[in-house]
Homo-oligomer: A and B are copies of this chain.
């Protein structure tokens, strides 16, 4: 192998080992760590992260990249080698541009800001969080300014989660779909409402658990490189190549959280399990972006797991698991219940049709905040006004409004849109899947998921982070990320359910 490439890979491998160790610590913290282990765990995590950061931003990495960029023409532009150099350069330039003092400053702002946010939310009092948000926002603005020149000040923060995605693109995508989604939701609101009371019965934990585990096993979740545990907030974690776990939660009074949450996290994990091991211990062993990752979780959760063919197979099985609760409930009633559309205040509880509107609201507000066109103190009023415009209801208080999400208190500006983009990408991919596997509905109806997983493996999982998200979606679907397919999907599905 090329000497410089080999030297770079050695450094990246060590950093990847440290990041994997850090992921083990994080997973354990959420699952099995006794509560008095928290302080020491924070210290270990801090030390690992600092060492990894120091190693990555060392001058050696810069010199090797310089040397390799001179050699790059000898590799095919889409080769692992050329892409590794390209992606590492991007990340190196970003990492080295942020002074250590600013990194430390943010850690402090986040630590205090998150505490204030918790208090503010529990008291539903925005003013408690306001001064912290002002500082966090100021930090994000200074962060963005390090990356001048840019087309838009929001570009650098968005770029953290969606490499090379531009604010103008996201705005255009959302501007296109917003009025159509609003119109759809109005139509649904005027139609005969769906009754989802069947989902709010008592479903004993063990039976729920086994049923969900069976479904993700059928999907192809590989237990030899995975596991499932309980946590307050479900997540998927990659602890290293060959180790892609999920966590979940169970509510005995409501069917949805465990079942769809588990499908969602398994979707993330199967994505990770499918990444090419040739990319292991490099930055390419990763999702192309958060939206690409979310397209996988939402596909298994919604396009598969909330579809009619899926339940044609699984509903009779579920009735056997819960005979008392479901024997008198028809498949049609159950299918409509799990797809009920109803504007609600809390994003994480939103249905497929209203979810994106929650995101658009946040994106507009974030952009306005960063541009300075709205002042932090005016956020609650702006939130409530826009919320009513999009969803037809007004939050009763800030806890159910502008204070509901943790992200800003963690300094995560630019993150939200990836959730909505993931929905759009999932539908774009699905249209291609329907072309490539014309009997996909029959396959799902027979619980034959191998062809679907194989397709996703080849197209989306294997390449890891070799391609930028727009590039990957273009390569697979022939178009950039856009809302057309998702809108068609929503309109078809909900017209049938609500008889529009």
Where the two chains meet, the residues of A that have a C-beta atom closer than 8 Å to any C-beta of B are 13-14, 17-18, 20-22, 24-25, 28, 31-41, 43-44, 46-48, 51, 222-227, 229, 239-243, 245, 280-281
Contact = CB atoms under 8 A, between A and B. Distances in A.
Rank and list the top 5 A-B pairs by shortest CB-CB distance, nearest first.
A40-B240, A37-B243, A36-B242, A17-B47, A36-B225
Contact of A227 (B34, B227, B229): B34
A161 to B, nearest CB: 25
Given A239-B37, A242-B37, A242-B38, A44 B32 contact: no
Given A21-B21, A21-B25, A34-B223, 14 more contacts: A13-B43, A13-B47, A14-B47, A17-B44, A17-B48, A21-B22, A21-B48, A24-B24, A24-B28, A36-B224, A36-B242, A36-B243, A38-B242, A40-B240
A242 B34 contact: yes
17 contacts: A17-B44, A18-B51, A20-B44, A21-B25, A21-B44, A21-B47, A24-B24, A24-B25, A24-B44, A28-B28, A31-B32, A36-B222, A36-B224, A40-B241, A40-B242, A41-B239, A43-B240
A33 B243 contact: yes
Interface SS, A side: helix
- Among A14, A33, A41, A44, chain B packs the most CB atoms within 10 A around the CB of A44
Contact of A37 (B43, B225, B281): B225
Nearest to A37: B243
B41 A240 contact: yes
A239 B28 CA distance: 11
Nearest to A239: B37
Contact of A243 (B13, B22, B40, B224): B40
Nearest to A273: B36
Contacts of A46: 17
Contacts of A243: 33-34, 36-37, 40-41
A242 B39 contact: yes
A47 B245 CA distance: 22
A34 B281 contact: no
B21 A240 contact: no
Nearest to A46: B17
A43 B281 contact: yes
Nearest to A48: B21
A80 B173 CA distance: 64
Contacts of A229: 32
Nearest to A28: B24
A25 B19 CA distance: 12
A130 to B, nearest CB: 35
Contact of A34 (B22, B34, B36, B225): B225
A223 B33 CA distance: 11
A397 to B, nearest CB: 35
A281 to B, nearest CB: 7
Contacts of A40: 20, 239-243, 280
A499 B127 CA distance: 80
Nearest to A29: B24
A224 B34 contact: yes
A17 B241 CA distance: 24
